[in-house]
Each structure stands twice: as structure tokens, then as C-alpha cells.
Structure 1
Amino acid sequence: MHVHLVGVAGTGMGALAGLFKASGHDVSGSDVAFYPPMGPALERWGIRLMEGFDPAHLEPRPDLVVIGNVCRPSNPEARAALDGGIPTKSMPHALAELLLVFRSPLVVGGTHGKTTTSALAAWLLHEAGRDPGFLIGGLPKNFDTSFRVPGDVARGGRLPLVTGEGLARRKTPFVVEGDEYDTAFFEKTPKFWHYRPEVAILTSIEHDHIDIYPDEASYLAAFRGFVERVPEGGLIVAAAADEHVVDVVSASARAEVAWFALEGDDTHGKPPHWLAAPAEVDEAGQSFDLYAGGVYAGRAAVTIPGRHNIRNALAAAAAVAQGFGVPLSTVISALATFQGVRRRQDLLYEVRGVRVYDDFAHHPTAVDETLRALRARHTQGALFAVFEPRSATACRALHQAQYATSFDAADVIVLAPLGRPEIPEAERLDLCALAKALEARGKRALLPSSVDEIVTLLARDAAAGDTIALLSNGAFGGIYEKLRGALAR
């Protein structure tokens, strides 16, 4: 087919374009701009790119138009496709109906840990020789791209539909990071409702995406719908330490449930089938003892820091072992070679003895876990947390009180200007109040007015042996290379 994607430069849409191209289709796409890294990547993958949104981009007439959720109802190109009778789909429907069919989807959902857990599951299945396909909202360091066609496509074939017992073990796995964000302007449903999971992982549930889910009840309803869509013959791997997860899964699951936890967790009355007992931590990584059904399976090690990453590794291990029959010996061996995901505690560089990490963390829980992980890895020197509130949730006052305790592992907190100044003042995260709350907890909190000012003060104050964590879900005004140059000078 000729597939055209409107809003192609987003992370998910760009990866979907790559998947279609790798599957043998002719692919084009439009967007307002094609900034790095997605723009150059799309060109490298052979996607024909068109700048702006214009009905003329639909000539010659595509066989299918995929409309991204960045598009508003007034988008002229999306409107022309819909009004002109061209077959159109949202991104989740296109993925599910054209790429997940005849395969066994492993869908990872949850407020936190989706990207790393998805990447872990894909790597474990790859190392087990299962040739998985995947679509992940970040770049796993063990692969060249955030997507991959499944082995049956790569070999030029296509597996027949399989039904009955052993479904997941007899089809090619396809790992999908299941985002709860909405599908498209013409279908306001959560994306992960449409991915047809046969095996699902649920890592956590904590109110987020306030622009889509105005209250906690609406957010929980999205996850109930996800859990309900896992069929009776499927498997749900669920976090027993998360009270919301336990409530949602217990009330909604039709499939078999495998609970996972760390030793010492409050599991809310759910005995975990999969258990990890954290063991040793050093700058090279961490290890844990793995138990399945109360039986010791061996000591596993991962290079990525933080107790939350032991949870992520445990969830992925449980899903591929119990859901796809991967031997635990293979799982343990593959965990040790997992390199992590870019923008997830990603060591960018070390200049004059100062380590600089990049992390996507913006929700207060993610900020807290990331900083604790970096403090556990680097026990000496000061830890600078440089936080850019940029998402719709982070820029609002929803988590004002929680942010005050999220930076406890850091010594110095640098609060960048809000990324969404258009939010009404009454609803906005109060950075001045947050700085005062942090200082009341014995922290040094700074409120620079620009990225350049942040770079100047970090270059002045950071010394050899210190660690800087840049926390943002965006480009952060190009701070990464600016800081590298300033530290070198």
C-alpha cells in the first residue's frame, strides 16, 4: 500500500511509519517541522516527508491515511482525508489491524516504567530466539530503532492465525508500549484499548495526563478498560505493591493474573508468584535473587540502577517466561546484557570529572525514583537535579505538595521555567513556593530564568565527582550540548 501519516514526526507516529516501511509499504508523511532526532531518522528510513498540513499532500491518493493524535479537528489535511472518503485510521487502529494481526501482542501499560519494561521484554524475547516485533516510545540501546518488524515479516513470510491452547507460544510475539493517552480527535478512547493484548504487564497506576483525565476516577476507568480487554486465555502480570493496580486488576481481570513484587513490599493481600530480593548495588549495576512460585531461580543482574528497575526487570521476566515459555536461565542471562533506554538515566558524557545524565522523568514519583537510583549509584559528590516542568500535568499544581519531597535524594535543585506558561496562574505549578518548600527541607533550590543561566551556574558550581541529572520530557532548550561546552571551558 501507499500509507500516508499526518503528524508523522511524533515519537509513536514516526516509529509506526518506520514499521510500515520495513514491512514493504510505500510511506509518506507530513508535519509542521522535522527536527532531530525524528526528522533525520525518518529520512534515513526512506519516508517521503512533506512540510506543513495541506490537502495537496494527499495527491496521488494514498491507500490509507493514518491521523495522529496531535491533529485537531480543524487540521486541513486530516479533514480532507476524512471528507474525501480516503480510508483513514488512528495510529492504534493502524498498528492493531495491520501489524498485530496474526501475532501475539505483549502490551505494557502503567503510569511509570512502560518504556524500560517494554524494551526489556523485547530484548529477552530477542535473546530467546523468538524474533519479536516491537513498538516502543523510546530508543532501546540494544537495538538501532524504537521499532522492529517481527521475524515472520523479516523472513518474508506470514504466520497463519492460531487459536486454542498455547496461543501465545505458537505465534510471533509483538511488544507494544501501551500508552493511555487518547487515540485521535475523532475517537477519544485510550490508545492501549486497541492493541489486543494476549499478555499484558501493568506496572503502576498514579493519576497523570490531567489534560485528558481531569480526575483520578476517569484515569482508573481507562486502566479498567485495558485490563478487561485481556482475554480469558491471556495473562496479566501485575504489580502487587501498587494499591490501584491491585484494585483495578482484582475487579476487572478475566485473564489469569501473575502478581510480582520485591521482597518486603506490602502486596495488599496478593501473594506474589514472581519475587525479587535486591542484593548488591555498585556503579556497574545491581543484582537480585529471583523467585518463581516460591522457588529460587537464580541471581540476576542488570546494569540499570534503582529499585524501580528491578521491578521493571522482574515484570518483563515474568511476562516472557510465563506468557511465552522462555526458560528462566535464558532470562537471567539476557538481563545481564540489557543496556537500558536512551533518556532513562542515560549517561550522556563526563567532562572534567562531572557526570551528566539525561532522564525523561517529570512526574514526581519518577523524579524521586530516578534521583534515588542515581544517588545509590554515585554515593560520593553532590547530586544536582535540574528539572524542567513541561508536560500538561507537571506544569499544573496537581502534584505541588508531592514535588516538595521528590527531590530528597538531591543536594541542589535547579527549577527551570514552566514549559507551558499559558496555563492559568491559579492552576499553575508554583515554582517559588516549591523552592521555599525544598529549602525548608534543607536543600539548595535555584530559580534561573533561562537555559543559558542554568548552564552558567552548573558550570560554575559543579566539581569533579559531582553528578548532574537533567530531567525533562522535551528538548530542554538545547541544554545538553550547551552544558557540555560550558563544563569543558
Structure 2
Amino acid sequence: MNVHFIAIGGAAMHNLAIALHNKGYQVTGSDDTIFDPSKTRLENKGLLPEAFGWFPEKITADLDAVVLGMHAKADNPELLKAQELGLKIYSYPEFLYEQSKEKTRVVIGGSHGKTTITSMILHVMHYHDRDVDYMVGAQLEGFDVMVKLTDDNDFIVLEGDEYLSSPIDRRPKFHLYKPNIALLSGIAWDHINVFPTYENYVEQFSIFVDSIVRGGSVTYNAEDAEVARVVEASENTIRKLPYYTPEYTVEDGETLLETPEGPLPIEVFGKHNLNNLAGAKWICQHMGIDEDDFYEAIATFKGASKRLEKIAESATSVAYKDFAHSPSKVEATTKAVKEQYKNRTLVACLELHTYSSLNAEFLKEYKGALDAADVAVVFYSPHAVEIKKLDAVTHEQIAKAFERDDLIIYTNPDDFKNYLFSQDFKDKALLLMSSGNYGGLDFDAIKGLIG
């Protein structure tokens, strides 16, 4: 097949392009800018466009498919040319479905936890040399690319994102996969620029459950009241299988998972991660991995990239960074680190960086999110608010939203940096939560700070 990617540099798009190239397809693509790691990965495969920009002349009648990324606009000149020629135009999830129609599709959905659960499943499969196709949104140890497509594998494991499919297809991605085996981990309002009301957001998960093929199954987090309500209300003829957080203990900064064979030391920690582990275990069992083999493999799982990643440690202090930004993720991550390091002062720093988190109306969703921290710091850039064309957010609004009288707030990157580097981190745990970089913070420099 001859496939062209419009916006080939995206995190998901470049991985799909490489997967098709590895499968023997003829792959071309365009983008107006491409950053690393996408740039180097595409270059290594000979797929990096010769020049950045949009070139309608690349769109010819001999293309079998055009894959359209979210970064492109609806008036993209290459897209307009493809439409004019009547070519088959796919969104990213549509194309993945086309590639996996004959496979058993395992789709992991939820507002939070889906990347970690998908990563856990793939880690277990990889550990036991079970070859499966997959698509996951984070870099994993032992995996070159985060999309794999073959003609031979029976299973494909897909991270089911609820965000939109493409500029001309406004359906959430996970509505298009039609799972045989599904998991739903949690529902907490996110993407408010696309789903303006809580009810509208929750409805997307109802549609997802109803999209599971007849006779299929949904494994769901029964501890999340909204998830349980959505799954149990569905009239789809599927099996509904609840899961719960397993028993565990924390001793001297180590988490021990209770198993039929006794306590098992594991690398990941926090109630939310143990809950994710329970979901992953059931999915692996559906895929033919028995319980003992699951425990053996999961003991070596260190976590997905950017999820509770330890960046520095000394005898008396530790630092983690995490991708957490939505209220539920911030709360779960903060609680996890405090539980793991009960005897240390937890300094939790949150950057409000996404569209939702910088929305004055949405801010109130953060109530209590940093309560587990001994010291709570919030950083946001007024410039980022301007760029996103949002109403200005004030110190007062943020202080009120988190409901902490002692909340420390910074809007200047240098002031935040100076604060961090003036601290003595002896007997402390530092947690940096953001999908950004605090206006240019050098995370490598944190290592000097800690030890």
C-alpha cells in the first residue's frame, strides 16, 4: 500500500508511519514542523520530509490512503487536494481499525490510568514472549516504537483515547475501535474545550461501552461510581466484569502486593497504580496469561514514561516528575507519593498548563487535589493563558479553587526556579507535576538539588 500522512510528526502519527514502513508499506508524509524524538525516529527510517510545509503536489491519484492527523487544519492544502481527487482519507483511529478488523481488539479506555494499564499489559506480554500488535501513548522500556502492526498476530492492544479523531472527524478516537475486550478505568471530566459539560463528557463513555462487539466483555473499575453506573446502565449484550484495588502494604518506601503466594515487592506504588494493576491482570488473563505468570512479570514493571518517574534520589530525599495535570490525576499522584514516603515532608509542585487547567470556570475542579502535600506550590504562566485566548486567571481564583490557605503560587519561571533551588530537601520528597516544563526548568539540575 501507498500511504501519505498529513501531519506525520505527531507523537501517535509518526509511530504509525514507522509501523507501516516496518510492515513494508510505501510511506510519505508532511508537516509544518517536527520536533524530537519524532524527528530523529523518522529520519532514521528515511521518512522525514525533505522540507517542512504543506505540498499539495505530494497528493496524487496513486495513493491508496491518506491519514490525517489532529495537528492539521480543516483547510490544509494537502487535505483539500486529497478531497478533490476523491482519495480515501482516514483519521488515525479509523486507519488502526482497518488494520485490525480481523484481530481480537483489546481497548483500554478511561479518563486516567489507560496509558499505565496498556503499558502494564504490554510489559507482561513482552516478558512472556507473547507477540501482540499494539498502540500505546508512552515510550516503554524494551520497545522501539509505540505502534506495532503485523498480519499474523491475533491480538491488538489499543489505548482508547476519548479525544477527537481528526479535524474533519469530531468523534472520540475510542468510538471507532469496536473492541472485543474492553476496560474502563475511571471517568473524571477532562477536555472541556471539546466536551463543555460533565454530562456530555460522560456520554462519550456510554457510547464506548455500547460500541463493544456483541458477546464481548468490559472489565471495569467498580470503585469509580460513574464508571459502574455507565457500565451497568448499558443494554449492550456483553459480559460485565468488575475489578477492585488489591490488598497491599507499604514498608520502608517499598510497596508489597498481596498475592496468593504471599507479599510481592513491586516497583510501582500508590492506590491508583495498584487499581490499574488489578485491571491489567484481568485483561492479561483474558489474553491467556495465568495469574502466577502475571505476578512474575508485573514485579519488574517500572512504569510508563512520564508517569511517576523517579528523577533523583539520595539517602534522605527523592524527586519524581509526573505527567499529572487533571484534578483526579493530581490528587491520586500526590496521595501516592505521600503514602510511599510517610515520614518525609512532601513538596508537591503543579504547573497549570493545559487548556482545561487554565480555564477559570474549570479551576474549581481542583478543590482538595493537593491536600495530601505538606507543602503545595502552583505555577502557571499568564502568557500561556493569553496564547490559549482564555480569560485571565488570578492568584485569588487559584487560591480559592484549591482551598489551601498556605498555597504558594508563582507566575514567573525564574521566581519558581529560585524557590526550588533555595530549598533544603533533606528528609523531603519532591513531586513535579506537569505536562509542560515550568517555563524552562532543567530537570537534570534537580539531581544536584536532591543529592
Q: TM-score, normalised by structure 1?
A: 0.84
The alignment's C-alpha RMSD in Å is 2.6
Which residue of structure 1 lines up, in the alignment, with residue 107 of structure 2? 107
Deviation at 1:131, TM superposition (A): 0.7
Note the residue ranges of structure 2 that are not aligned, 5 or more in a row.
none
Which residue of structure 2 lines up, in the alignment, with residue 39 of structure 1? 39
1:365 is aligned with what amino acid? S
> 8 Å contact 1:455–1:482 — kept in the other structure?
no
Query: Could you tell me which of 312, 315, 320 is aligned with 1:349?
Result: 312
- 2:386 aligned counterpart, secondary structure: coil
1:238 is the counterpart of 2:203: no
Query: Could you tell me which of 333, 358, 362 is aligned with 2:325?
Result: 362
2 CA distance for matches of 1:385 and 1:435? 15
Note the residue ranges of structure 1 that are not aligned, 5 or more in a row.
160-170, 263-275, 291-295
Which residue of structure 1 lines up, in the alignment, with residue 301 of structure 2? 338
1 CA distance for matches of 2:6 and 2:314? 41
More deviation in 364-373 or 124-133?
124-133
Q: Deviations over 1:240-259 (max 9, x none)?
A: 11111111111224210110
Q: Would the alpha carbon gap of residues 344 and 380 (structure 1) be closer, same or farther in structure 2, given more than 3 Å must change?
A: same
More deviation in 49-58 or 227-236?
49-58
Which residue of structure 2 lines up, in the alignment, with residue 278 of structure 1? 248
Query: Could you tell me which of 237, 240, 253 is aligned with 1:257?
Result: 240
Which residue of structure 2 lines up, in the alignment, with residue 271 of structure 1? none
Which residue of structure 2 lines up, in the alignment, with residue 226 of structure 1? 208
- 1:348 aligned counterpart, secondary structure: strand
2 CA distance for matches of 1:174 and 1:383? 40
2 CA distance for matches of 1:125 and 1:473? 28
1 CA distance for matches of 2:102 and 2:206? 25
1:434 is aligned with what amino acid? I
- 2:244 aligned counterpart, secondary structure: strand
1:408 is the counterpart of 2:377: no
Which residue of structure 2 lines up, in the alignment, with residue 313 of structure 1? 277
More deviation in 39-48 or 203-212?
39-48
Which residue of structure 2 lines up, in the alignment, with residue 480 of structure 1? 442
Which residue of structure 1 lines up, in the alignment, with residue 423 of structure 2? 461
More deviation in 121-130 or 359-368?
121-130
1:247 is the counterpart of 2:229: yes
> 8 Å contact 2:212–2:238 — kept in the other structure?
yes
2 CA distance for matches of 1:320 and 1:464? 41
2 CA distance for matches of 1:348 and 1:173? 34
2 CA distance for matches of 1:482 and 1:172? 42
1:132 is aligned with what amino acid? V
Q: Would the alpha carbon gap of residues 481 and 297 (structure 1) be closer, same or farther in structure 2, given more than 3 Å must change?
A: closer
Q: Percent identity?
A: 28
Deviation at 1:354, TM superposition (A): 5.3
2 CA distance for matches of 1:258 and 1:19? 33
1:191 is aligned with what amino acid? K
The aligned runs of 1:18-417 (5 Å cut-off) are: 18-49=18-49, 50-58=51-59, 62-98=63-99, 100-149=100-149, 153=150, 158-159=151-152, 172-252=154-234, 253-262=236-245, 276-284=246-254, 286-290=255-259, 299-321=263-285, 323-350=286-313, 355-417=318-380
- 1:131 aligned counterpart, secondary structure: coil
- 2:342 aligned counterpart, secondary structure: coil
Deviation at 1:464, TM superposition (A): 3.3
> 8 Å contact 2:61–2:87 — kept in the other structure?
no
Q: Deviations over 1:297-344 (max 9, x none)?
A: 7655431111000010100101111x2221111111111011211100
Deviation at 1:391, TM superposition (A): 1.7
More deviation in 391-400 or 5-14?
391-400
- 2:171 aligned counterpart, secondary structure: strand
Q: Would the alpha carbon gap of residues 90 and 485 (structure 1) be closer, same or farther in structure 2, given more than 3 Å must change?
A: same
Q: Would the alpha carbon gap of residues 102 and 437 (structure 1) be closer, same or farther in structure 2, given more than 3 Å must change?
A: closer
Q: Deviations over 1:184-220 (max 9, x none)?
A: 1222111001112111110001111111111122112
More deviation in 248-257 or 338-347?
248-257
2:53 is aligned with what amino acid? G
Q: TM-score, normalised by structure 2?
A: 0.91
2 CA distance for matches of 1:433 and 1:69? 32
2 CA distance for matches of 1:12 and 1:337? 26
1 CA distance for matches of 2:11 and 2:424? 33
Deviation at 1:114, TM superposition (A): 0.7
2 CA distance for matches of 1:431 and 1:37? 36
Deviation at 1:74, TM superposition (A): 1.5
1 CA distance for matches of 2:386 and 2:401? 21
- 2:212 aligned counterpart, secondary structure: coil
Q: Would the alpha carbon gap of residues 217 and 403 (structure 1) be closer, same or farther in structure 2, given more than 3 Å must change?
A: closer
- 2:422 aligned counterpart, secondary structure: helix
Q: Would the alpha carbon gap of residues 380 and 28 (structure 1) be closer, same or farther in structure 2, given more than 3 Å must change?
A: farther
Deviation at 1:226, TM superposition (A): 0.8
2 CA distance for matches of 1:57 and 1:69? 19
Q: Would the alpha carbon gap of residues 79 and 416 (structure 1) be closer, same or farther in structure 2, given more than 3 Å must change?
A: farther
Q: Would the alpha carbon gap of residues 204 and 437 (structure 1) be closer, same or farther in structure 2, given more than 3 Å must change?
A: closer
Aligned length: 447
Deviation at 1:425, TM superposition (A): 5.7
1 CA distance for matches of 2:306 and 2:443? 15
